[in-house]
C-alpha cells in the first residue's frame, strides 16, 4: 500500500553524504560476492563457499547484517520474458553446512514489473542495520517509491514477512539506487541514494503518520 502522506521535502545534491560521526552501522559477520551465476559467501576467516546458483543473471547481492546462527543472503536476478525484462528478489538461508534453495520473494512483495518500462536500472536493496527490514527504490509511471519489507525469523528458517510499506518520493528520479541504510543520532533511519550524479539522504519516520524526507 502506498502511503499518500509520505513526502519528499527537498532534493539532494552531489556533495551530500551521511555523517559517519552521527550514523551507526551494524557489523556484518560475513560478505557475499557474485561469481558469474553463483553467490559466494565469505566468512571472517576468509573461507569461501558457494551457497546458491541461478539460471538467471545475478545482478545484486547483500548479506543480512548481524551475528545470527542463520545467515540470509538477499539477491536480485534479471529475468527476461516475451514482453520485457524484469528484476526479481530472491534469497537463500544458510544454517551451518545446510543451505536452502534460492527462493523467490512472494509475488506481492516483488519489484514492480513496470520498472524497466521507465528506466532499466537494477534496484539495489539494502538491509536495515539490525537486519529486520529490507528496502529498495523502484519506479513506474507515477514516480519513484521507497519500499520496505520486514524479515521474519522462524524456528528453522527466515523469510520476508507481510510487514511491508511504500513511500512516495516524487522528487527522487527514476534510476536512483539505494547505497546504505544507517541510523542517525536520534535512531531515525537514514537511507542514502544516488543516481550517479546527485545524492539524497532519505529520513524515514516510522511513526503513526509515516513520512519519508530527503534533506540537503
**184 pLDDT above the threshold of 70:** yes
Question: Around Cβ 30, how many Cβ atoms within 10 Å?
Answer: 19
**pTM assigned to the model:** 0.83
Tell me how far the alpha carbon of residue 194 is from its chain's centroid. Answer: 14
Residues 6 or more apart from 2 whose CB is under 8 A from it?
A: 145, 166, 167, 168
The full set of domain ranges for the chain reads 2-215
Q: Which of 134, 127, 215, 119 is nearest to 176 (CA)?
A: 119
Split at pLDDT 50, 70, 90, the class of 27 is very low
In CATH, the number for domain 2-215 is 2.120.10
Q: Give CA torsion, residues 66, 146, 122, 56, to 10 deg.
A: 70
pLDDT digits (tens, 9 = 90+) for 49-106: 999 999 999 999 999 998 888 999 999 999 987 678 999 999 999 998 999 999 999 9
Q: Tell me how far apart the alpha carbons of residues 57 and 118 are, in angstroms, rounded to a whole number.
A: 21
Amino acid at each position: 500500500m502506498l502511503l499518500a502522506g509520505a513526502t519528499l521535502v527537498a532534493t539532494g545534491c552531489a556533495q551530500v553524504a551521511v555523517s559517519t560521526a552521527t550514523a551507526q552501522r551494524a557489523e556484518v559477520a560475513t560478505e557475499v560476492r557474485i561469481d558469474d551465476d553463483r553467490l559466494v559467501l565469505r566468512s571472517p576467516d576468509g573461507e569461501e563457499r558457494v551457497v546458491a546458483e541461478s539460471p538467471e543473471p545475478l545482478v545484486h547481492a547483500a548479506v543480512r547484517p548481524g551475528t545470527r546462527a542463520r545467515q540470509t543472503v538477499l539477491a536480485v536476478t534479471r529475468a527476461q520474458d516475451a514482453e520485457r525484462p524484469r528484476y526479481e528478489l530472491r534469497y537463500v538461508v544458510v544454517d551451518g553446512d545446510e543451505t536452502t534453495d534460492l527462493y523467490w520473494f512472494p509475488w506481492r512483495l516483488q519489484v514492480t514489473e513496470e520498472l524497466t518500462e521507465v528506466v532499466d536500472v537494477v534496484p539495489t536493496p539494502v538491509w536495515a542495520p539490525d537486519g529486520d527490514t529490507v528496502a529498495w527504490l523502484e519506479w513506474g509511471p507515477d514516480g519513484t517509491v521507497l519500499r520496505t519489507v520486514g524479515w521474519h525469523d522462524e524456528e528453522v528458517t527466515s523469510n520476508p514477512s507481510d510487514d511491508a510499506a511504500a513511500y512516495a518520493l516524487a522528487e527522487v528520479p527514476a534510476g536512483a539506487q539505494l547505497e546504505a541504510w544507517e541510523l542517525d543520532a536520534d535512531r531515525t533511519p537514514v537511507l542514502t541514494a544516488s543516481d550517479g550524479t546527485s545524492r539524497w539522504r532519505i529520513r524515514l519516520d516510522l511513526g503513526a503518520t509515516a513520512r519519508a524526507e530527503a534533506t540537503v
